[in-house]
Amino acid sequence: MEIERINENTLKFYISYGDIEERGFSREDIWYNREKGEELFWEMMDEVNDHEDFSVDGPLWIQVQALDKGLEIVVTKAQISKDGNKLELPDLNDGENSSGVTQDLENFMEQSFPKEDSSSEESTPKSKKKRHLDDDLTLTIKFKDIEDVISLSQSMKDTRFVDDRLYAYDNNYYLHIGFPNGFLSEDEQEDYISQLLEYGEESDKTVHYLAEYGTEVMAENALKQLRKHFK
């Protein structure tokens, strides 16, 4: 594995598919098995830390680019502003994703959200969307800026029964949130949704679209992480 220190907060490393297989993982593992993909990622981070002083003590911005013979991974520590009220992220419009096949952690560390048919979801008017308790409910909320997401995180204290991840795309932020079946009643789910819509608006952008064209800011427990860092 090749490691390159970009700056104090950013590392880039390259790992070949051959190296991945020598570590006991297959390509199918890293793209489709969340636990295996996560295990490989943290194994690589441990190796990175053996060569570089790069402590992980806050939110990470992670980009995974699939190349012909391996993966190029850029890891950046998100910075908290001096006043402690703003999460400062890398420039999202630097064109870094303009070439190659970019895969954010949506594929690299696959979360336990159900697969969605992006073509059917994006063409369905919001008023006609059906929510069924026999399936995991998922939706995407769009925010104009990170401050609205932070305000939501401070308002929504109990997120034990939701799966949430945060994306940035086209100067907006998107929270993809899932309600695993069996934990909340339909009324409780609707209460959560009403609270979400106080700070943002429902979007037809699918999680797969955001993973491919946007930037994953927080891979899991986004609201809990924001609440922790912005008390």
User: pLDDT by residue (tens digit) across 135-185?
Assistant: 567 889 999 999 999 999 988 877 777 888 999 998 899 999 888 776 777
User: What tens digit of pLDDT does each residue of 8-27 get?
Assistant: 888 888 989 889 888 888 87
Q: pLDDT: is 198 or 9 the higher one?
A: 198
Domain carrying residue 209: 132-229
pTM above 0.75, yes or no: no
Both 139 and 90 in a single domain? no
Whether residue 145 is contained in a domain is answered as yes
Q: Quote the pLDDT of residue 79.
A: 64
Both 18 and 103 in a single domain? yes
Q: Quote the pLDDT of residue 172.
A: 93
Q: pLDDT: is 117 or 187 the higher one?
A: 187
Both 88 and 143 in a single domain? no
Question: Chain-wide mean pLDDT for the chain?
Answer: 74
Both 197 and 154 in a single domain? yes
Whether residue 113 is contained in a domain is answered as no
Whether residue 115 is contained in a domain is answered as no
Average pLDDT over residues 79-105: 46
Secondary structure string (H, E, C) spanning the chain: CEEEEEECCEEEEEEEHHHHHHCCCCHHHHHHCHHHHHHHHHHHHHHHHHHCCCCCCCCEEEEEEECCCEEEEEEEECEECCCCCCEECCCCCCCCCCCCEEECHHHHCCCCCCCCCHHHHHCCCHHHCCCCCCCCEEEEEEECCHHHHHHHHHHCCCCCCCEEEEEEECCEEEEEEEECCCCCCHHHHHHHHHHHCCCCEEECCCHHHHHHHCEEEECCCHHHHHHHHCC
